[in-house]
Copies of this chain bind each other. A is one copy, B any other.
């Protein structure tokens, strides 16, 4: 292994949850060194945080533009190689775009952009740049999600004919029922959070999970949102009928008002020869259903798993790994890609996933607003 990859961080300072997730993941396989950052729009806070986590202060920049310009002055051998974008959603696009335009690799939080239009622009920028670009659909990093993908690819299910994905959370519930709170929380303000709350924040993960595991593309969809209150203009719940071509159909269900649910992402895939069921809150159990055989439960670390899955497990079977480990797997895949080492396309989600995600989000809104008509994805 060559030297550690020089990592820059944008956002993720202070108590940021996403910040600690990315930092732990970056360190997990001894692949990255944080060498530069803008942790916060407030420079002093950025510096304070850098001190707190004890990293050198000399490349803690006052703002993003300075980071770019200063880093470009450094010799390539010292310069940040990859930037991890963990800022609020609306900043993803301008930052990712400028990073690509200046030849950096990018790890970008989702949603990749706030509009499909931006996503396509970013795709063009990426094509020109030729660098590595990853979107952190973290759940694809779980060993058992990787195993799902590989089982489908191996033909274990035969032709897929039905997909059912769910992402139920309850976190907006205590807010939505309070008239005052629901007016003031930024997540329900479209000027701040984009055109969709529920689909933009979580439905898109379910969408990505389907495409990741089945290898199929959703062709068209029909969506119905629930806003719960007349004065609320953002979807907090929705169901999406999907068609994947040739009698392959399914449904995506997402809710932020599924009271008491925590982080209930789950997927069921059914094919001619078998079915697969996985739930994020019990990530180390993958259920394989059959017409004729006992139910099988796959667990990480066993040699009966695919190489892609085994690559995502660090300890022997029975030592539970979790969401940090899933993100760690994604960071490792990116490290391999940056170093030009061999890697499997299943190791991290890419620009394509990001673009399709935005296509999906906008299509759900379009379908709902048009009176629940079918909308075709590109």
Contact = CB atoms under 8 A, between A and B. Distances in A.
A351 to B, nearest CB: 25
Given A17-B316, A260-B275, 15 more contacts: A17-B314, A27-B27, A161-B228, A164-B166, A222-B372, A226-B247, A259-B289, A261-B270, A262-B318, A281-B284, A281-B318, A282-B282, A294-B304, A315-B323, A321-B322
A177 B315 contact: no
Given A224-B249, A241-B224, A289 B317 contact: no
A320 B326 CA distance: 10
A4 B54 contact: yes
A93 interface: no
A170 B260 contact: no
Contacts of A162: 226, 237, 255, 257-258
A252 to B, nearest CB: 10
A28 B27 CA distance: 8
Interface stretch (A18-26, A62-70, A355-363): A18-26
Interface in A255-295: 255, 257-264, 268, 270-275, 280-284, 288-295
Interface range, A side: 35 or more
A127 interface: no
Contact of A54 (B1, B168, B173, B260): B1
Interface of A: 1, 3-4, 17, 20-21, 23-24, 27-30, 33, 51-54, 157, 161-162, 164, 166, 168-171, 173-174, 177, 222, 224, 226-229, 237, 239, 241, 247, 249-251, 253, 255, 257-264, 268, 270-275, 280-284, 288-299, 302-304, 314-325, 328, 372, 374
A319 B323 contact: yes
Nearest to A282: B282
A297 B294 contact: yes
A259 B271 contact: yes
A3 B177 CA distance: 46
B288 A294 contact: yes
Main secondary structure of the interface of A (DSSP, over half): loop
A293 B170 CA distance: 13
A298 B294 contact: yes
A120 to B, nearest CB: 29
A291 B170 contact: yes
14 contacts: A17-B316, A30-B53, A162-B226, A222-B224, A258-B270, A259-B271, A259-B290, A260-B274, A260-B295, A281-B284, A294-B297, A295-B296, A322-B322, A324-B324
A69 to B, nearest CB: 27
A309 B5 CA distance: 34
A302 B177 CA distance: 20
Contacts of A270: 170, 173, 255, 257-261
A52 B241 contact: no
A8 to B, nearest CB: 16
